[in-house]
Chains A and B, each alone.
Chain A
Amino acid sequence: MMPSTADLVRVLPEIVLTAFGLIVMVAEPFLPRGEKRMLGPLALVGTLAALGAAVAQAQNPGYAFSQLVIIDGFSSFLHFVLLAITALTIIASFRYLERENINHGEYYALLLFGTVGMGIMAAANELILVFLGLETSSIATYILIGFRRTEAKSSESAMKYFLLGSFATAFLLYGIALIFGGTGTTFLPDIAAALGAPGTNPALVLMGMGLLFVGLGFKVASAPFQVWTPDVYEGAPTPITAFLSAGPKAAAFAAFLRIFFTALEPTQETWFWVIWASALLTMFVGNLGALVQTNIKRMLAYSSIAHAGYILVAFAAGSELGIAAVLFYLVAYALMKLGAFTVVSHVSAGESHQEIDDYAGLHSRQPLLAACLTIFLLSLIGIPLTAGFLGKFYIFTAAVKANLIWLVVLGVVNSALSVAYYLRVVKVMYMNEPRADLEVAPVPASVAFVLTLTALGTLYLGIVPGPVLSAAARSVLPLP
């Protein structure tokens, strides 16, 4: 069967990204050494074109490819978020690749292919397609993490993520198989329908659900499947760390939400406590882990875990309000994490100087850079007038409405804990004497652009959250 035009429009961003990824790959060998820097802007153009395609996609909601793909508000919202993350990552990588001398075209091509996988995850209406999207994005990130291949740490990270990630996807696949065995289908709405009907095997579905939880929990770095995060984040090239903490996490949450709220919605009472416990554990593991870190990348990695925990709180709320809160939070979180890692990527040139103490007196050398990092850190704490505060506020509001008072109280206890380690970085930057031996290069225009955009975005969402919030509220999954 030939795909119809409507089918194609509904996957247009993926088509555009794939095309540009291929162009980058093909163009790379033909470019002389000095001209390779053209590949970055080319990939950026591709991402922006895909953003345009996402607009067309959003205007044509509906199913595509025999209901394998669903384009609704939810998937469109995530497409915009994911593509914006990729675009910012590409811009932040321009100078990084030159500086680290790893300026190869594959880097950008892999980013684009990874984004294709993430887009598929956000729009998949069927479990096998979720798996395909997850694999596409994972394989791209495995390579990107090890992109500084001469560095042992980078290779170690890639290996670790690859091995554990393969396990996780195996779990996921096994879970899919069991659910298929239990219900006779892999289409999400059909699973929900089958769960209510006679003839399903509840034990199989339950086991399948547990395995799906493991697989997806690994990808969003929720406890107890978070162990890989600090090591992988530390060893990966920093722009990729930024990407990893924002993009694949958002995509995995998208799939997580869609599977659990569409296909497994009838069993919500069963999985509610699992999510509840995982949210609590994730928050504590993340925040307590971050407290004792001295390496800023590892600290931010633990903070990523903690933030996955906050998102799970909204997940546990299990309402449309909760899903809207997750969507808003993903935007806020992407802005502050991309921003923070971009500062780190600039200061820690050559991936040395990753200790928090290396930021001593940064304020006196690069006041704007220090101010930007301060904004991101305050937002991560959740100080009002930043995106992070409103994100947390919406999450906690959704959770209180769902009567999860204790989870919320423990959540704010975690927020109070997190103040200690985020402010330590602020303290080091503003209150300690600068280190004489650490030179910080002037900020290149591309990095400045990313930082301006993310810092202003963080403040904008904190002061005028209305537009994004109402967009998120319009994009929630329809719950019965």
Chain B
Amino acid sequence: MKAYWLSLVVFFPALGALLILLLPAGAVERIRRVALVTSLVEFALTLPLYFWFNPASAGMQFLEARVWIPSPLILYQVGLDGLSLVLVLLTAFLTPLAVLASWPITKRVKEFFLMLLVLETGMLGVFVALDLFLFYVFWEVMLIPMYFLIGVWGHERRLYAAIKFVLFTMAGSLLMLVAIIWLYTATGTFDLLALYGLRQAHPALLAAGEERWLFLAFFLAFAIKVPLFPFHTWLPDAHVEAPTAGSVILAGVLLKMGAYGLLRYCLPLFPDAAKEFAPVISALALIGILYGALVSLVQPDVKKLIAFSSVSHMGFVVLGIMAMNVISTQGAIFLMLAHGVSTGALFAFAGMLYDRRHTHLISEFGGLGTPLPVFSAFFLVACLASLGLPLLANFVGEFMVLVGVFEAERSYAVLAAFGVVLAAVYLLWMYQRVTYGEVTNDANRRLTDLSRRELVIAAAFALIILGLGVGSPFLTSRTEATTKRILLQVESPHYELAQSPESGAPESAEDKR
């Protein structure tokens, strides 16, 4: 059973989607329940992975490999290391909350939950795929449900935002496809584990120029997804126009795929190029941190503010990855999780406001603490987490990143710290304008506080935010061995990798012009 567990985890949501497909479109209540139950069972399915996972091992666990396409040899190969594990858990945790947050949706309910579940399968696939072709398939297939989620159920400018999202992502990922093919012709394999092994065994596997181009092609795809300044322009549109569940998933999981790609592909496969470009990328990340924070300051719209704050926070993640030491990388991975839940929570709360008032404009609100005390309390938790208050999730990640970056490059850490300060300014100012003071707008006087469903969402987010803040070792212990392995792959050319027996050496390593 354990041998197939990972495949079960990946495809279970798709099974739920299939079930929804068979239900009549009118059975709204039943469709919602099926979606919720599917996503909850899915979350339950991922929990054993945490306990079965051996934290001491840096290799891939729960490995499954079989031939998908015989020629050129493409494997269906999936496996988990610490990095994948925590992101799979994050995905499985956020999806049921996204489903719950989508309860108010009444338009084309069947398709909505169908897309959401297909999307979950795609996201999980991205995090566990260990074959470049397979990875690309999941990476691209995921675009389509997201396109529909934004385009059909989004807000006013949804059509523009949806096509912009797809075009940006496609532009990057198609160049990555070329790089994948190039890598295949140079090495004769799509198998990621074999490629890891080859890269370690032959440091001169790729010519320097070749490695540089390949790195850039992969990097572009991931930089767009993160999004790194200046590739971020799709993000505010997509975030603002997406329905609540879409924003939660976008911020919570999709952005993480870019950072995941850097750690899984860019660094281990092209270490020399990664080191060469690290200063430039770090500079872009720094610009992103400060730019995102400054732009957040002046946003009139709650959702837009959160969206730009994501640019800032993800800048920390990239900065941490590019500092390439254990603590910064551990911090970056942890911040990915923390940002996933805290920003997911912020978007969920923004969605609750929207459900009540059909607007995201800060100026429409004010004094919400009076009619919505419970909401305001939970909202505060999310804001405080996002601005990096100790004991809450983000603090741990940001602190580790800053410490690690400080070790690597002092001035970067100093500059990045301003991002933390600014985060406190824009988030608290926004919170103040929304909840404190007198109720200035009559429309807000009679708002009802959180329903039971919303309370469940709010409590789940608050618990996990607090849990991550105080219980961070439970996760960092799982990612530590993986982090060290990745850094060894970058640093030392002859690091022995825990290899799987299935991923034998490719036939034509020398098939290289």
A residues with a Cβ closer than 8 A to B are 378, 383-385, 389, 393, 396-397, 400-401, 403, 405, 408-409, 412-413, 415-416, 419-420, 423, 427, 430-431, 465-466, 469-470, 473
Contact = CB atoms under 8 A, between A and B. Distances in A.
Interface string B176-220: 011001101100000000000000000000000000000000000
Contact of A416 (B71, B136, B170): B170
Contact of B70 (A383, A408, A466): A466
Contacts of A423: 147, 163, 166
Given A385-B137, A413-B174, A465-B69, 19 more contacts: A383-B143, A384-B141, A393-B177, A393-B181, A396-B181, A397-B181, A400-B178, A400-B184, A400-B185, A412-B178, A419-B166, A423-B147, A427-B151, A427-B159, A427-B163, A430-B152, A466-B69, A466-B71, A470-B70
Contacts of B136: 384
Contacts of B175: 409, 412
Nearest to B213: A405
B177 A396 contact: yes
A415 B166 CA distance: 12
Given A412-B177, A427-B163, A405 B182 contact: yes
A419 B174 CA distance: 11
B138 to A, nearest CB: 8
A465 B74 CA distance: 11
Contact of A400 (B167, B174, B182): B182
A378 B141 CA distance: 10
Nearest to B163: A423
A404 to B, nearest CB: 11
B163 A420 contact: yes
Nearest to A386: B141
Contact of B151 (A405, A409, A419, A430): A430
A284 B113 CA distance: 38
Contact of A401 (B71, B143, B152, B185): B185
Interface string B132-146: 000011001101100
A416 B185 contact: no
B501 interface: no
Task: Pick the most buried of B72, B143, B152, B170: most chain A CB atoms within 10 A of its CB.
Answer: B170
Question: Which of A413, A420, A423 is packed against the most chain B CB atoms within 10 Å?
Answer: A423
A347 B17 CA distance: 29
A469 B166 CA distance: 29
25 contacts: A378-B144, A384-B137, A384-B141, A385-B137, A385-B141, A389-B140, A400-B185, A405-B178, A405-B182, A409-B178, A412-B174, A415-B170, A415-B174, A416-B170, A419-B170, A420-B163, A423-B147, A423-B163, A427-B159, A430-B151, A431-B159, A466-B69, A466-B70, A469-B69, A473-B71
Nearest to B148: A430
A400 B143 CA distance: 26
B181 A400 contact: yes
The A interface is mostly helix, strand or loop, or mixed, namely helix
Contacts of A409: 175, 178
A423 to B, nearest CB: 6
Interface string B145-175: 0011001100000110011001100110011
Contacts of A378: 144
Given A384-B141, A397-B72, A403 B513 contact: yes
B164 to A, nearest CB: 10
A423 B174 CA distance: 16
Nearest to A419: B170
A281 B280 CA distance: 36
A331 B230 CA distance: 41
Q: For A384, A403, A423, which residue has the most chain B Cβ atoms within 10 angstroms?
A: A384
Contacts, number: 74
Nearest to B139: A384
A126 B69 CA distance: 37
Nearest to A469: B71
Contacts of A469: 69, 71
Contacts of B137: 384-385
A160 B163 CA distance: 37
Contacts of B513: 403
Nearest to B67: A466
Given A384-B136, A431-B152, A416 B181 contact: no
A470 B148 CA distance: 35
Contacts of B181: 393, 396-397, 400, 408
B484 to A, nearest CB: 33
Contacts of B171: 416
A378 B148 CA distance: 13
A466 B69 CA distance: 6
Contacts of A408: 178, 181
Contacts of A416: 167, 170-171, 174
A396 B178 contact: yes
Nearest to A465: B69
A396 B178 CA distance: 8
Contacts of B185: 397, 400-401
Contacts of A403: 513
Contact of B140 (A384, A397, A401): A384
Contacts of B144: 378, 383
Contacts of B182: 400, 405
A403 B170 CA distance: 23
A389 B69 CA distance: 14
Given A400-B182, A403-B513, A470-B71, A431 B151 contact: yes
B213 to A, nearest CB: 9
The 10 closest A-B pairs by CB, nearest first: A412-B174, A384-B137, A400-B181, A416-B171, A384-B140, A431-B151, A401-B185, A416-B170, A400-B185, A397-B181
Contacts of A465: 69
A469 B70 CA distance: 10
Contacts of A431: 151-152, 158-159, 162
B219 to A, nearest CB: 15
B167 A419 contact: yes
Contacts of B174: 412-413, 415-416
Contacts of B69: 465-466, 469
Interface in B41-69: 69
A409 B181 CA distance: 11
Contacts of B141: 383-385
A419 B159 CA distance: 14
A416 to B, nearest CB: 5
B287 to A, nearest CB: 26
Interface string B470-513: 00000000000000000000000000000000000000000001
A454 to B, nearest CB: 19
B492 to A, nearest CB: 30
B128 to A, nearest CB: 16
B288 to A, nearest CB: 24
Contacts of A383: 140-141, 143-144
Contacts of A397: 72, 181, 184-185
Interface in B253-271: none
Contacts of B147: 423
B146 to A, nearest CB: 12
Contacts of B162: 427, 431
Nearest to B177: A412
Contacts of A419: 166-167, 170
Contacts of B178: 396, 400, 405, 408-409, 412
A405 B183 CA distance: 12
Contacts of B184: 397, 400
Nearest to B140: A384
Nearest to A464: B69
B74 to A, nearest CB: 9
A396 B136 CA distance: 15
Contacts of A385: 137, 141
B84 to A, nearest CB: 20
Nearest to A408: B178
Contacts of A473: 71
Residue of A401, A416, A466 with highest tally of chain B CB at under 10 A: A416
